[in-house]
Each structure stands twice: as C-alpha cells, then as structure tokens.
Amino acid sequence: SQTIHQWPATLVQPVGSPLSLECTVEGTSNPNLYWYRQAAGRGLQLLFYSVGIGQISSEVPQNLSASRPQDRQFILSSKKLLLSDSGFYLCAWSDGTVAYNEQFFGPGTRLTVL
C-alpha cells in the first residue's frame, strides 16, 4: 500500500529565515505530487504540482519554490520566510496512470513564522 510522509510535523521559524519541507511517497512510482497551503480556518491553496522529476508547475507567485529531485520526493523551500507564510502545508500525491485525480494527503507541517 502507498504511504506519504511529511516532515517536520511542526516548525517555528523567524521572519527572514530559510525553509525546507520534505515530502516522500512510498509504494508507488511516478506519482503526481502537490504542495498546498491552508491558512487557519481557510480552504486549500495549491502552490505547486509536479508530474515528474524536475517538472514543477507554480500556481501562485510567491517567495516559495519547489523541487523534485527524485521520483517520490518533493521539497518545498524558501530563502527568506515572511509572516504571511505561516500556515498548514500539505503534500499530496495522485496516481498519474488512472483517469481520475483522487489525491491522497500527507499528515501536514504546521509552520509558524514569528
């Protein structure tokens, strides 16, 4: 069966510091991968998605970036965090070989920028 991991689970960072969040998927090959952000009490905002190694699509201009160095690894980064970067970051995967796009979510990383 497939599992998706995210770490760290929680993170408190000062404004201007760098960020690196990691997501890995087990039990599947060539998944579509997604990064979302959810502000407190709000809906989901798609940040990035990837359909293959090195292929990243950005949905929202911001100070964040994403990379996919390996098939089942997706990394979200920032060089300098802003207060507005606080939120709940969710990684998700979907099976690119099926005709529908059911996404499966990791446990999330709760980021607080102070």
Q: How far is the CB of 107 from another protein (least distance, A)?
A: 5
SS3 string, 4-51, reads EEEECCEEEECCCCCEEEEEEEECCCCCEEEEEEECCCCCEEEEEEEE
**Span 55-94, contacts to another protein by CB under 8 A:** 59, 90, 92, 94
Q: How far is the CB of 80 from another protein (least distance, A)?
A: 27
Q: Exactly one of 11, 13, 32, 65 binds another protein (CB under 8 A); which one?
A: 32
Q: How far is the CB of 103 from another protein (least distance, A)?
A: 6
Q: Exactly one of 23, 87, 106, 111 binds another protein (CB under 8 A); which one?
A: 106
**Span 38-57, contacts to another protein by CB under 8 A:** 43-44, 46, 49, 51
Q: Does 105 bind another protein (CB under 8 A)?
A: yes
The closest alpha carbon to 88, from 42, 56, 19, belongs to 42
Is 4 within 8 Å of 51 (Cβ atoms)? no
- b vs e for 29-54, b when ≥16 Cβ sit within 10 Å of the residue's Cβ? eebbbbbbbeeeeeeeeebbbbeeee
Q: How far is the CB of 90 from another protein (least distance, A)?
A: 6
